[in-house]
Amino acid sequence: MIRQTMHFLVRLCCATLALMLMLNITHTQSLTALASGDGASAGGEASLVGRVEKELAETEDKWLAADIKGDGGVAAQLLGEDYQGMTPSGAVQDKAQFLAEVKAGDYRADSFYQDERYVRVFGETVVTTGRLSLKGQNGIAQTRYTRVYVKRQGRWQLIIMQTTRITRS
């Protein structure tokens, strides 16, 4: 009896997981079709992903340019109220703490260069990863990052960022 119950529960879990995956795929395809306006065709999805990638790249570049100048206004607009950041030293920051550091000039640099950027679109959520180089008075600092954005009220908001400093061996 116990064995039959266990087999039933395992099958039920597998069926539930399969149903959840199917619903998620259908929901994502519906969002893609809705956003692209031309159905859930492969071309429409690729077009949507391309537009989102371009939009996020432009948003990140504007944000970085403002941050290295100490302009917290642009960062304040981009960050969600529930923002959480992990610094290269492992500290966790909320929106107010991050904005205070931007305004204090903690991220000031002469220029930045991004030679890697990957954008992954999951409906109304986007994950970007990449490598960023900042040139300042102390030389060049390189970091790798992961950022998570969600689309809220028609605009992308950064809600999670993790940054790791690249050290030379």
User: pTM for the full model?
Assistant: 0.70
In order along its 169 residues, the chain shows pLDDT tens digits of 555 544 443 343 434 433 343 344 434 443 444 344 444 445 666 787 888 888 888 888 888 888 888 888 888 999 999 999 999 889 999 999 999 988 888 888 888 888 899 999 998 999 999 999 888 888 888 999 999 999 999 889 999 999 999 988 6
Buried/exposed code over 26-39 (b: 16+ C-beta within 10 A; e: otherwise): eebbebbbebbeee
116 part of a folded domain? yes
In a domain, 4, yes or no: no
Residue 5 belongs to a domain: no
Task: Walk across the sheet containing 92-94 and list its strands.
Answer: 92-94, 79-86, 155-165, 139-152, 125-136, 111-122
Domain that holds residue 50: 41-165
Task: Report the number of distinct structural domains present in the chain.
Answer: 1
Query: What CATH number has the domain bearing residue 70?
Result: 3.10.450.50
pLDDT at 34: 38
